[in-house]
Each structure stands twice: as C-alpha cells, then as structure tokens.
Chain A
Amino acid sequence: MGVDEILMHPDPYNMDLNEKNRLKLKAIKESFVYHYNNCEKYRIFCKSRDFSPDKLKGFSDLSKIPLLPIGVFKKYDLLSVDKQDISIIAKSSGTTGSVSRVYRDKITIDRLTKGVFKMVDWMTEGRKGFVGALVPPPGENDAWIIQSSSMIFPKYFDRVEHFIRGGRIDINYMMKILSDPDLPKPRHLFGPPFAYLMLAEALQKNSITIKLDEESLIVTGGGWKSFEDKSIPKDTFRGIVSRLFSIPVQNIRDSLSCAEINSWITDCRCFKKHVPPWLHVSIRDPENPDEEVGVGEEGLIAYLDPLAHSYPGFILTDDVGKIIVEENEVCECGSIGPCLHENVRRAKGAEARGCALRLQELIRETK
C-alpha cells in the first residue's frame, strides 16, 4: 500500500520532493478508492458531487476529491469497516456542544502511531527521554488529544507522567518528578497553552523556578478552548515559557491536529507548522470550498488523510489558516514543505453574532 511506503520512509520529513508527491498521491488515490467502495454514505456523497475514482488521475486532481464537512462526524457514524472492527471511538474536545465521534480500527491506530513516531523522531531529533503531560490522565477525560497522546507517548518515550490530577496541576508531584536525578533526559513537557500559563502563575506565586534541559521541548497542543479570552500572541507565550523553564525559545513548539485526522502538524524550530508528507493539506476558499486559495492567502483548512482506514478522512475543517511554505518547497529549517503559518484559528460560529440562538443555550436555559 502506498500509505505504508510513505510511512516506512526512513526520513520522511527530508525526503526528495518528487518522491514525496508520488508516494502521497499513490497513498491518497488508494485511500479514496477504498473509501468510495467501502463507505456507502461517502460514495453517495461523491456521486452527488459527480466524482468517482476514475476522475482522480494526477496530483492536481487531489483538490477535486469531495470533502466531508467536519460537522458530519457530529451527526453521523461514518464507517468504511464493520463496526465490530472498531477499537476506539475518538471524541473531539470542542467547546460548542456536540462532539465528533470518529471510529478507528486497529489499522488506523497502527498507522497513526507510526506517523506520530516519525513526527516525534523528526521533532526531537531522535532524543527520547521523559514527557510530563499537562493534561489529565486518560481515565479522567476522554478527549482525543488526551487519549491519543496517552496511547502513543508511553510507546515512544522512556517515561511519561501526568501532572494534572482531579482537574488541577499537581505542582508538588511535578516538582518531585522533575527533580528526580534518575529521570530520563531530556525532560519534555506537553499540554494545552492555557495549562502552561496556569502553571506559570502557580510557580511564580510559590517562587518556584524550573530549569529543564538544553534539548527539552515544550510542546503545546489543543488550543485555548474555553480560555480563548486569555489567549496571548504566540511569541509572547514563547517568551514567558522560555524564561519559566530556562530553555531556548526555538524549543517551544505548537502542534495542530483534530480528532478527525491521524497526524500531528508540528512547528519546526522556525515556528512553521510542518505537514507530514503523507497528509495532504489544502486551503479552501471559504466562499467556495471547491476552490483552493493561493499560497499565503487565508482560508479553510482541508485534509486528505490516507492514514484513515476505518472512515473516509477527506475533511473540510472550520479551522482558518494559510500555507506559507509550498508543497514543492523546502522550509528554512531544512525540512520539506508544505507548512502552515503558525497561527491557525477556529472560525467563530454564528453564536458570536446577533440573536443567534444555539441549541446548547436553549438546553442551558431550561435546566
């Protein structure tokens, strides 16, 4: 399978661009044919859009693959395999009521794990060490970011600990673990940005300083969620966190993913979000999602994810972003494109305007 070929590549983030495009096209083509044949709902949708596998020939046809609006995962069970083959139902960690349900089988999870391993290899330059997770343990929360990181990190890193317990950052426990001389190094941290700010506040209040290692990475993921009003510009955030943990600013990296895809898009040291070579990202005109916008132009992020085996991973999100390093370009960090601009944001829904009455508000009112 094309997808296995690209996932098995020894150095996927630095591969030859032509080879990357060839393998990516092959993987997505195979994936499209598979889902067209195995997911009835998707096939009906494709037919209504007058698109079938015979129309997917070259790389430029990728933009013609019918995209599923991300909301379908909130309303429908989309499956390309039997329900009995499902191992995990991933749930989104959204803030606006209804939750996505994404059905993953073993094949999808294996691919996801391989892909994340390759991404972490690239980001850490092969240094494993310790990860302190500023997210609750998987038993306390079923959000996909928590479930997936808890599933994959222990398989890759030498040791993983969760510093959020019962909804609070356990500073004493964190200090005890981080100061253990036997703790594998480098010591990395992972969590949503607001958790770092909460941690910074708590550490300052208690006059505690932490010095991590020169190679430590501090990785953010999951966005600001309901703490959006506390969000600060990325460079300000990096400045605060860099001082707090005494690590170089370029070791503070943000990541982007969602419950509906099987890859993480992470910052390089130049703060450009590298799309893994097996995932195709395309920026769509919000006015007409069948059209792609130009490089550097803002639009809605669409993913063609060939790692998805149990469901069709051809998705139009409501995230707004732009491409800053093209498909056939190499980033200033030395790795291949494409790259997204570091600022990706969720489009504000109608609840932000006027008398948009949301169902969730109605429910709240009647409680």
Chain B
Amino acid sequence: MEEYYLPIILNGRTIYGDELRLEYDRQEKIRISLPNVKDNHLLEIGKLSGRELHKVNLDEIISFLSQVGELWENKNYHFRKEAAKISSLTTGYHERMIQHSYDMIPKMLNKKFLIETVNIEIGNKEFLDRWIKVGGTRVHALPLGKLLHIVAGNVPIVSILSFVMGILTKNINIIKVASGDPATFIYFALSFEEIDKNHPVNRTTSTLYWRHNADVERKCINIVDGLLVWGSFDALYSIRKKSKPGQAILEFGPRRSFIFVGEEVYKDISALEEISQRIVHDLSLYDQQACHSPQVIFFEGNAEKFCEAIAKTLEKEKYKLPKGFTSIDEKASITHERMMARFRGDKVFHPSTTEWTVILTKDFENTKNHPLSRTLYVVEVENLKEAVKYIDRSVMVVAFSSYERLEELKEDVFLRGADRVTMVGRMGYFPLGHPQEGKRNLSQLVKWVGADVI
C-alpha cells in the first residue's frame, strides 16, 4: 500500500495528523491520511470577522495570485509535482491529464485575465476597492464574509476556480477538498506560504477535509455567510438542507454536454478527420467526467462513416491524453451498455478493451444510462434542428461542427436551457467573460451597498 500524509490548513497555518484515512483501490491500494477537523479549528476560523480583506487593495490580491500562478507554471515546482502525483492516484486520471489541467492554473491566475474577469463580472473592479458614484448614489461592493467551498474531485482545478471567485471578491475562504482529489488544493494553498506567509490571502484561507455528512460539516456551514457547492444532486441537496436562511448558495453541476454535427462533414475527408480529432479531444478531457464533456452526438444523416472516423481517431489519439485507471465498476458499466446496445440492434464500435466505445443508435432514450469513461452515443437525426428538442436545463455546453450551424441554432439551443455554444474541440476551455453556469458569480459573492449623495 502506498501511503501519503496531507495536512489541513487553518487560516494559513498547516496542521498535520493522521486520524482520517482515505483509501483508494487502484493497481496498488492508496491511502491518504489527514488530520480530523476539530471544534477548536472551526472556532479559530469563526473568530475572523469576514472583513479582513476589505481594506486590502484588489491589485495586491491579484498580484499575489499571479505570483502563485507563476510558481505553478513550472512543471518541476515541487508542490506541483507532488500534487500531480497524488492527484493522479486519487482521481484515477493519467498524470498527463493532471498536468494538462494544471497547465491551466497560470492562465487562470494571469494578472490581466483576473483583472478582466473582475471588470466583466462586477462591471468595474474599482467597486471592490472604493465608493463609485452611480446615478444618485455611491456604490461599493463589500465581501459577503466567510465562504465555504464544497468542491468536487472530477475536475482537479475546479477547487482553484472556486477559490479564485471567493478571493477576487475579498471573501474569507474555506475550501473543503473532495475525497476524489484532496491533493490539488492542499498543495496549491501550501504554495501561498512560499510567497508570503503573512499575506492576508494566506491568513484568510483554510483548506479542510471531512467525510460526507460529518458533524463538522453542519458546524462549518453555521459559521459561514455563503456556500459554493460543486457536484452531484445528492451533494447539492445535502448542503442545501443544512444551510441557514439568508446564506448565499451558489450551485455548480451536475450537467452534461452534447455535440451537433452537420452532414457537411462528409464533403471533405480532411474536414472529417479534423472534426473527429477535435471531438476526441473533448471526449478524452477528464475521461468524460466533467460537465463540459460530450456524452451524446447528434449527427445529421447516416452516421456510420462518421462513427468509423471517430473510432479510428480514438485509437490513433489515445496516447495524447491517455485514459486513466479504469475500475472494475466502470468496466462493468461499459460492458453492460455495449451488451444492451447489441441486444437492441445498435452498432457498437470498440477496441478489445473498455478504453473507448462508440454506440450508434437511433433513439435518444437509449443514451440515458450513460457509463461515461469515453463512451459516445451517436444519435442519427434527419436534421440538426430536430435534435434541439433533446436539450434541457441539464445541458451545459453544445458544441457544433461548423460555425454556420452554431449561428443557425444557437438561439433555439439557449431557449431550451443550455448555457454555452462553442465549436468542437473547445468544450473544456471557457473563454474570458463566459458566465459560468449561466451566472455572473462574482457579483453574487459581494454585497452591494449604497451611500446616498447629499
């Protein structure tokens, strides 16, 4: 058994211990030991007023974050290396996938990107630092106070994204890491100390772990002013039930995503190859466990050749973002789905392993028991317009094979409930200014106050 010890971090102070053990069935058993979160830890966080960052200039916060980003840009940075190794073991993702994900950290923490993000989401970053005259009043954006981030482990950098939302709005942040990926944020937060141990960002960030439904969860919810919850419906419901009236709750997930491919891809063999490559990239990213991962492709016309092209590309490209650990449970789900597809007469494309699967089916109903793990259902439709009816609020991203089709259908797609349309190959990359899950989140993490002009 491989064993790793991770600390928790309390207002920037690192605490080691091994009372809590997480075990993972991989090729070799993995154990992560962490200290328990105790009542006095929460008391310590509870002592913070929630206004500690109010007087800190936003530029100073952004500068600190960008320095952290610079550290993480280096693949050999010791905390990045450690985090990648452990994260790969606990998430089951191939280390190359983790590195690909970590490569986005410096981009996310780039000074210009952060400033633009605040300007877009808040309107003007100055609202966070001073009173700005708006109409007949002066407006200031105050932090909500203390935020608890309950993050999911399926996308490693989600914890960092959630934290960035909290810190850009000058809130006090408690990150409850996911059992699926405890390492990423713990090491990320440890790197704060290497820049400035006494920096207010470090002194107001806590990184904790507790088991689902542990007593400490309720106690922690009681001391915060806002909650950012990422994950399954069960996770969202469970936290919502424990929340207090008046507490801000921002919920993220679970969602799924689709691809629309027009028949014009057959016009040119090189176009078909390029589209296939882009789709395979979207599918492979996070082994289809992310909300932006495509689960179903709607194809206009006869999709058999298209499925063959996807299958060929999946086989050819499998080493670019290699698939991670596949558990017996995942293999069972895939195998059953393949067998069900064969039973109903669908065409199934797959290698001799469960590495990837393409199922060509005529009925959208057949896609609902999705095993993930690089499985694509391709549903044939006569016209892409026909497929719009399958979109609902559960759909996050709809990617198109051509910009013309995107323009043609985007309005209908949004009216059905999707959040974002893009081109294939870009599903996992959210451009600056994109409203995360249909919301301007930063503006919900501040309290807008006004001082009348007399």
Contact = CB atoms under 8 A, between A and B. Distances in A.
Contacts of A67: 339
Contact of B343 (A45, A300, A320): A45
A320 B154 contact: no
Q: Which of B332, B333, B336 has the most CB of A within 10 A?
A: B332
A316 B321 CA distance: 32
A320 B328 CA distance: 8
A63 to B, nearest CB: 15
A349 B392 CA distance: 23
A320 B372 contact: no
Classify chain B: how many residues form its interface, as a range: 35 or more
Given A67-B339, A72-B343, A354 B332 contact: no
Contact of B342 (A48, A359, A364): A48
Interface SS, B side: loop
B340 A69 contact: yes
Nearest to A318: B332
Interface string A332-367: 000000000000000111111111111101101100
Given A71-B336, A71-B340, A356 B370 contact: yes
Interface stretch (A165-173, A237-245, A283-291): A283-291
Contact of B335 (A76, A286, A358, A362): A286
B288 interface: yes
Contact of A352 (B329, B352, B370): B329
B339 A69 contact: yes
A298 B328 contact: yes
A41 B343 CA distance: 8
B141 interface: no
A68 interface: yes
Contacts of B253: 355
Contact of A70 (B289, B336, B342): B336
A356 B345 CA distance: 25
A353 B328 CA distance: 13
Interface residues of A, number: 39
B371 A287 contact: no
Nearest to B253: A355
A350 B370 contact: yes
B233 interface: yes
Contacts of B327: 348
B353 A349 contact: no
A275 to B, nearest CB: 20
B288 A354 contact: yes
A348 B328 CA distance: 9
A355 B370 contact: no
Contact of A354 (B289, B329, B394): B289
Contact of B336 (A69, A288, A361): A69
Interface string A41-75: 10001001100000000000000000111111001
A288 B354 CA distance: 8
B394 A362 contact: yes
Contact of A356 (B254, B286, B340): B254
B256 A355 contact: yes
19 contacts: A70-B336, A72-B340, A75-B340, A289-B335, A300-B332, A316-B339, A318-B336, A347-B332, A349-B329, A350-B330, A351-B232, A353-B330, A353-B372, A354-B254, A354-B286, A355-B255, A356-B289, A357-B255, A364-B233
Interface of B: 152, 154, 232-233, 253-256, 286, 288-291, 293, 327-333, 335-336, 339-340, 342-345, 352-354, 368-373, 392, 394
Given A41-B343, A318-B333, A349-B333, 15 more contacts: A45-B343, A69-B339, A69-B340, A76-B343, A286-B335, A287-B331, A320-B328, A350-B370, A353-B289, A354-B254, A355-B290, A356-B254, A357-B255, A358-B369, A364-B233
